[in-house]
């Protein structure tokens, strides 16, 4: 199982919803559904109510689907799990979205009762959620960097013993050495921090202290301590942040 905590995956969801393309897509989808009036909404409610209904429904179901994707990303094993994660996300999204849709309809229309029509409606919603979930896997998650291809590891990992190679988490200076923190362990490398940072290309990271560099994707949580800060990494280590680097961490969304 991955060592990334739930806070990490929910931060991914928040980052995804911060992308303008996400809101543009949801707005466009809500407009199309309002004009089409599918699932009987065209006859049951007027245009204004339909716009409110589909606007709320698109946001609610999209958030549900994105959260399902994030949850499946967290619980699935890391290596070779892309297609397993896609399938798990499709199933989780289908069930979750169908539940949300039926619950909203029960409140809005107040005449939802068990029967063939309801079962057919639930099945169609579930299948639609499957398809949309698959599209999300290929488009939006890849847009956010979740590509189904192997990315070359940073060069610094070549200096680490094979048994300690994993996701690069952080670099820390100790005397004349750099301690390389990975998801598989740690290793000491005789080199300067500046040289070590030059070998992290391909990893989204930044220096946060004169003695520390971190992978931003491996930050589990962050807290302020006066004019400084402390980052808790996915491996559990805590990394101090000097006041010089606090503004930069705010810019990338790690600190608020």
Q: Where are the domains of the chain?
A: 6-143, 155-251
Q: Does 46 have pLDDT greater than 70?
A: yes
| DSSP assignment string, 178-207 | EEEEETTEEEEEES-HHHHHHT-TTS-EEE
Distance CA 237, CA 16 (A): 26
| DSSP assignment string, 8-43 | HHHHHHHHHHTSHHHHHHHHHHHHHHHHH-TTTHHH
Q: Does 17 have pLDDT greater than 70?
A: yes
Distance CA 71, CA 1 (A): 12
Q: Order of strands, edge to edge, in the sheet holding 212-215?
A: 185-190, 177-182, 168-174, 212-215, 205-209
* Proportion of the chain above pLDDT 90, given as a percent: 33
Chain CA centroid to CA 26, Å = 17
Residue that wins the pLDDT comparison between 114 and 218: 218
Written in H, E and C, the secondary structure of 92-126 is: HHHHHHHHHHHHHHHHHHCCCCCCHHHHHHHHHHH
Mean pLDDT of 94-105: 76
- This prediction has a pTM of 0.51
pLDDT digits (tens, 9 = 90+) for 190-229: 999 999 999 999 899 999 999 999 999 899 899 999 999 9
DSSP alpha helices (H): ranges in 45-81? Answer: 47-75
CA angle (19, 24, 27) in 5-degree steps: 135
CA angle (30, 32, 34) in 5-degree steps: 65
Q: Does 56 have pLDDT greater than 90?
A: no
Most confident listed range (33-47, 61-75, 77-91, 183-197): 183-197
Q: Does 2 have pLDDT greater than 50?
A: no
Measured in degrees and rounded to the nearest 5, phi and psi for residue 221 equal: -160, 165
Give the three-state DSSP class for 177.
Answer: strand
Q: Does 33 have pLDDT greater than 50?
A: yes
Distance CA 2, CA 156 (A): 22
Q: Does 3 have pLDDT greater than 50?
A: no
> CATH second-level architecture of 155-251?
Beta Barrel (2.40)
Q: How confident is the model at residue 19 (pLDDT cuts 50, 70, 90)?
A: confident
Do 220 and 232 form a contact (C-beta atoms < 8 A)?
yes
pLDDT digits (tens, 9 = 90+) for 141-169: 555 444 444 567 899 999 999 999 999 99
Do 41 and 53 form a contact (C-beta atoms < 8 A)?
yes
Burial pattern 154-181, b for ≥16 Cβ within 10 A else e, equals bebbebbeeeebbbbbbbbbeeebbbbb
Q: Does 179 have pLDDT greater than 90?
A: yes
Average pLDDT of the chain is: 80
Give the three-state DSSP class for 256.
Answer: coil
């Amino acid at each position: 199982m991955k060592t990334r905590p739930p806070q990490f995956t929910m931060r991914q969801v928040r980052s995804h919803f911060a992308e303008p393309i996400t809101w543009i897509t949801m707005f466009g989808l809500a407009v199309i559904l309002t004009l089409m009036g599918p699932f009987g909404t065209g006859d049951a409610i007027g245009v204004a109510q339909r716009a409110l209904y589909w606007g709320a429904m698109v946001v609610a179901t999209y958030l549900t689907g994105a959260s399902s994707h994030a949850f499946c990303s967290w619980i699935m094993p890391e290596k070779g799990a892309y297609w397993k994660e896609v399938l798990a996300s499709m199933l989780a999204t289908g069930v979750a979205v169908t539940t949300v849709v039926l619950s909203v309809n029960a409140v809005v229309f107040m005449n939802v009762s068990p029967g063939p029509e309801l079962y057919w409606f639930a099945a169609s919603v579930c299948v639609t959620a499957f398809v949309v979930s698959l599209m999300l896997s290929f488009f939006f998650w890849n847009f956010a960097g979740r590509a189904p291809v192997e990315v070359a590891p940073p060069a610094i990992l070549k200096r680490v013993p094979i048994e300690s190679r994993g996701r690069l988490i952080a670099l820390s200076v100790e005397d004349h050495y750099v301690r390389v923190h990975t998801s598989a362990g740690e290793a000491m490398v005789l080199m300067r921090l500046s040289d070590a940072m030059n070998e992290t290309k391909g990893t989204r990271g930044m220096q946060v202290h004169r003695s520390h560099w971190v992978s931003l994707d491996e930050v589990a949580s962050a807290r302020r301590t006066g004019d400084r800060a402390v980052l808790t990494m996915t491996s559990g280590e805590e990394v101090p942040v000097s006041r010089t680097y606090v503004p930069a961490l705010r810019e990338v969304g790690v600190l608020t």
